[in-house]
Copies of this chain bind each other. A is one copy, B any other.
Amino acid sequence: MSGVGCVLCRDEGGELLWADARCRVIRVTGAEGRDFPGFCRVIWQAHVAEMSDLAAVDAAYLMRIVLAVERTLREVMHPDKINLASLGNVVPHLHWHVIPRWHDDSHFPAPVWAIGCRLAPTRPQSQLPSATLAARLLQHLSHPETSS
């Protein structure tokens, strides 16, 4: 199932950290990835718009992957907060934003989609190699709680 002209059907959407037949985890690149180091997206492979379009077992599986990403980011990035969101107004292809937040980031405490309020400091976390992130994620995904 593929959406005509859908950017998430056509492109990976970032730096691939992990994938299976149902979903993939990418690390966000560019300005968003610089301002929020570790910003990841979990993208459902098939072109569906809403969580409730999925079978219950698939929705539960997707959330287990999202929470494995959350656990990974908390462990390796030590953010002050995690933000989770499935919006898809512009790209109605089911994808979750998993965003590490810091008290002194460019938008805190506002959501990242609001107007920024300060220049964010350069974080050492932005230097964390994606291979390290991917390896730690794989360990979390291997945990029984996150297996399908």
Residues of A within 8 A of B (CB): 49-52, 56, 59-60, 63-64, 67, 70-71, 74, 81-90, 92, 101, 108-111, 113-115, 145
Q: What is the copy number of this chain in the assembly?
A: 2
Partner of A82, one of B50, B70, B83: B50
Is chain A's binding surface mostly helix, strand, loop or mixed?
mixed
Q: In the complex, which residue of chain B has the Cβ closest to the Cβ of A97?
A: B85
Hey, which chain B residues are within 8 Å of A89, CB to CB? 81, 83, 101, 108-111
Q: Are B85 and A52 in contact (CB under 8 A)?
A: no
Q: Are B109 and A110 in contact (CB under 8 A)?
A: no
Measured CA separation A82–B39 after assembly (Å): 22
Q: List 8 A-B pairs, Cβ < 8 Å.
A: A50-B81, A51-B84, A60-B60, A60-B63, A63-B63, A81-B87, A81-B92, A85-B86
Partner of A145, one of B56, B71, B86: B56
Partner of A70, one of B51, B88, B108: B51
Q: Are B84 and A86 in contact (CB under 8 A)?
A: yes
Q: Which 9 A-B pairs have the closest CB atoms?
A: A89-B109, A85-B85, A111-B113, A56-B145, A84-B86, A52-B70, A113-B114, A83-B87, A90-B109
